[in-house]
Structure 1
């Protein structure tokens, strides 16, 4: 296990390094000039060049990258070229909105998908199983934007149970208002991603139901449900855990849309604004952070596989 963790940690660090190179390099291929955007259309070439020197964009790309990645290692993502504010500080503030949104959506999606997926598999030949499968297909087909707008109209505009947009200016100093403002966004993301996850849970459970292991367990006197709960779900969890990593990436993408719909001041909203403003220093920090989150989830899932499946612990 120790050797596996060492190898996997090395691969994680290498992947993060390659990701940082790709993020930095691809952003430099975009058309336009950050100095020109800041200086304005009426600036003279001399003024634009002076601003390039101030921003450091006149230096060789290798020097710019090493300076940036060196700061990232110490937790310094640089300073915004437009606002002059620390990127790390802004990311920290925005994560207080995006992190609970993504985490809450994932927990809610799992709570929806796992029990319904198991029921849909166990009763796949009944109306209940077919109905659940049909609803999950409908949930996959509906756009996240449309789902969010419908929920906002019903629960915020018509019923007035929840706020339609915004987040408390004082943040989590008002926990009640903060939680209420995230309910509809979390449900919006959870319904979309939960429908996808439900399909995988159903498929994995169906595969386990036809294994010899489950027939042997039932021969000992266990019911089909008892055998599934005691022996089957652990095996069905392995492919589902792999999908969770992809679901987190999908949630991060979906969070960008949901934050715009519900006017949440999160990382997604900030990223879209910074791309439009060509604030490359902030954009590269934001994209690298989101990439690091996805890679970290993948690392944790690999470790989880080793803990759940004894066969992997003895594998070389």
Structure 2
């Protein structure tokens, strides 16, 4: 299959998944106790207020008509209104999402910068004491809940060793977030720890697999040095499964951001979601779910496209 055809097929699949997500969110909205009107207006709303709201919002029409109206609202960027903050959900998410992306991207980049060379280093030193030690530490980091790891970081590096503040940067703008980079260290470290643990294992396994391939033996027989083989051949081929898994790991990153933001009081979308859950603010909750689901689908699509570009074997296998 040619690259343009593959891209068109993957984009159509991504659009179909997003449509399914909107159907699920629409169903959850109507599955709220007392319906959407009760969830939005609150438990103190009278029957007359609920009836008037249903008529104004078109909630007394057939479900297919309601879904098309809901889809039209989404296409125009309307995710509803928060009844606790009395503000459009799209505006609230638009203000918080960039901060969550900063936290997530920094955690991802730092995690990969540590995990990729660490995994290759373990593969080269396979079954040596240092490999066993790093493997053990990786399993411990992977199995440790994010909130517990964050508490340990706060205890050690904010209380025992007062190197970093225990609270993340505050402020409504990205400039205010970046104005205190020292306060970003602990939240980013908490988010990056699990990435290092997971992706170093993927990189180790991929490197070991490539080291056993015929092209490596041929390069060694031709007199190529081990470092050159690792840098020119093994490194690029070993990145393919890492990139493929990166798109699927996005939900984990956003889920970890929810805990990290609440723990460090970081004013991102995760903290917004947490506050909305505490107040049963269903429009905000479902809006966040929709945005995170769409971001996951887009991330998976980008990972598949990049994987196809960098690895010719994927093209041959799917042709």
State TM-score, norm by structure 2: 0.90
Q: Is the 8 A contact 2:248 2:299 kept in 1?
A: no
CA RMSD of aligned residues (A): 2.2
- Determine the C-alpha separation between the residues in 1 that align with 2:160 and 2:216: 49
Give me the whole-angstrom Cα distance separating, in 2, the residues matched to 1:265 and 1:229: 41
Which stretch of the first structure deviates more once superposed, 279-288 or 98-107? 279-288
Closer/same/farther in 2, CA of residues 130 and 175 from structure 1, 3 Å limit: same
Q: Which moved more, 1:162-171 or 1:148-157?
A: 162-171
Q: 1:209, 1:258 → 2: CA distance?
A: 37
Q: Deviations along 1:80-113, whole A, 9 cap, x unmatched?
A: 3443312221111111221101101100110111
More divergent stretch after superposition (36-45 vs 192-201): 36-45
Q: Which deviates more, 28-37 or 281-290? A: 28-37
Superposed CA offset, 1:245-299 (max 9, x none): 2222211111111111111121122123323444333322211110111111111
- Is 1:208 equivalent to 2:224 in the alignment? no
State the SS of the aligned residue for 1:174: helix
Unpaired runs of 5+ in structure 1? none
Partner of residue 66, structure 1: 68
Equivalent residues in 2 for 1:235-254, closer than 5 Å: 235-254=237-256
Mapped to 2, the partners of 1:37 and 1:308 lie a distance apart of: 48
What's the counterpart of residue 227 of structure 2?
225
What's 1:125 paired with? 127
CA apart distance, 1:56: 4.8
Q: Deviations over 1:36-65 (max 9, x none)?
A: 456555554334433444555444433332
Alpha-carbon distance between aligned partners in 2 of 1:260 and 1:159, rounded to the nearest angstrom: 22
**Structure 2 counterpart of 1:13:** 15
**Conserved 8 A contact 2:216-2:229:** yes
* Structure 1 residue 166, shift from structure 2 partner: 4.4
Taking structure 1 as reference, are residues 32 and 276 closer, same or farther at Cα in structure 2, changes over 3 Å only? farther
What is the aligned residue count?
316
CA contact (8 A) 1:68 1:78 kept: no
Q: TM-score scaled to structure 1, two decimals?
A: 0.91
- Structure 2: where are the runs of 5+ without partners? none
